[in-house]
Amino acid sequence: MTRAVVLSGPGPVENLAVVERPVPEPPPGWVRVKVGAFGLNRSELHTRLGLAEGVTFPRVPGIEAVGVVDSDCDLPAGQRVAAMMGGMGRVFDGGYAEHVVVPRELLIPFDSDLPWEVLGAVPETLQTAYGSLTTGLDLRAGQTLLIRGGTSALGFAATALANDIGATVLATTRSADRLDVLREHGVAHPLVDDGEVARQVRELFPDGVDAALELVGTPTLPDTLAATKVHGTVCFTGMLSNEWVVRDFYPIGYLPKGVRLTGYGGEGEDLPAEVLQRFLDQVAGGEVSLGPTTVYRLDDIRRAHDDLEHNRRVGKLVVVV
């Protein structure tokens, strides 16, 4: 037998329950992974709140997990792997479990002696940050980057990658007592989000920033656009506010002249294995920081989800199995 978190249907955290069930058997082309840890994501919160499309219940949530290969495939037994996206936790049972079965193509093998609570914080966050900065923004050395929502796990990951690229990072937080946390994790210009971040940005860089990563959502997007220079780019990636629709969108009135707006939402296959391996090696070597993490056990899943929903923690929330 094995244990898994089952979401009975949309609703409060009480709809999440840890249950025992038979160890799942992988069909042809799928692989069973013995899970070491998994990260929590806004995607799973949206699923629990009934905001995600195409989900059937009951369902084991979880769009990512790290662990070891636990069934026959082309990878050796015990090989450390990351699995993410591709329908995990929505179309089929996901990573909130001691064992997960996924299509082979979702697995990214890696070699690392980092503990599970560290590894569990990386895959989906790194994939999204990497895709946002490369595909979404084409960020280059010497440019300035504004991260709206800097104390999120994605914000810390984007800061680490942007610094590695050679960009100058500005990042926001709604709490003044978190400014030092941003500074300690590589943010050159921490800013308190008072609703007028564009004004603060242009006091530092009168022409605006070269690039901006919007992680809060549509409520702050106009101000983020206003902080960006002509021919600069804003990438809409996150929805920490749980608001992602611009109603009555009139592009000419909404977009500042010459500012480009794009978006990013990738899959696991968009994270090259060599990028994951290099990032893990940099973490192990102390060259980059993941940002703060909060670690839970499987039996703490309701408390973890409640913390996620109410933004009680800074950085990534990770469950060690």
Amino acid at 10: P
| pLDDT tens digits along 20-43 | 999 999 999 999 999 999 999 999
SS (H, E, C) 33-57: EEEEEEECCHHHHHHHCCCCCCCCC
Estimate to the nearest angstrom the gap between the alpha carbon of 10 and the chain centroid.
22
| pLDDT tens digits along 282-299 | 999 999 888 899 999 999
Amino acid at 61: P
Assess contact for 273 and 280: CB atoms under 8 A.
no
Query: How do strand 293-297 and strand 316-320 relate by DSSP bridges?
Result: parallel
| pLDDT tens digits along 163-183 | 999 999 999 999 999 999 999
Residue with tokens 């993410």: 84
Instruction: Using alpha carbons only, give the angle 257, 261, 262 rounded to the nearest 5 degrees.
Output: 160
- Percent residues over pLDDT 90 in the chain: 92
What is 222-282 written as a DSSP string? HHHHHTEEEEEEEEE---TTS----TT--HHHHSPTT-EEEE----GGGS-HHHHHHHHHH
Query: How do strand 189-192 and strand 2-7 relate by DSSP bridges?
Result: unpaired
Residue 108: both structure tokens together: 């990214």
| pLDDT tens digits along 203-259 | 999 999 999 999 999 999 999 999 999 999 999 998 888 787 899 999 999 999 999
**Predicted TM-score of the model (pTM):** 0.94
What is 99-135 written as a DSSP string? EEEEEGGGEEE------HHHHTTSHHHHHHHHHIIII
| pLDDT tens digits along 87-114 | 999 999 999 999 999 999 999 999 999 9
Residue 221: both structure tokens together: 């997007």
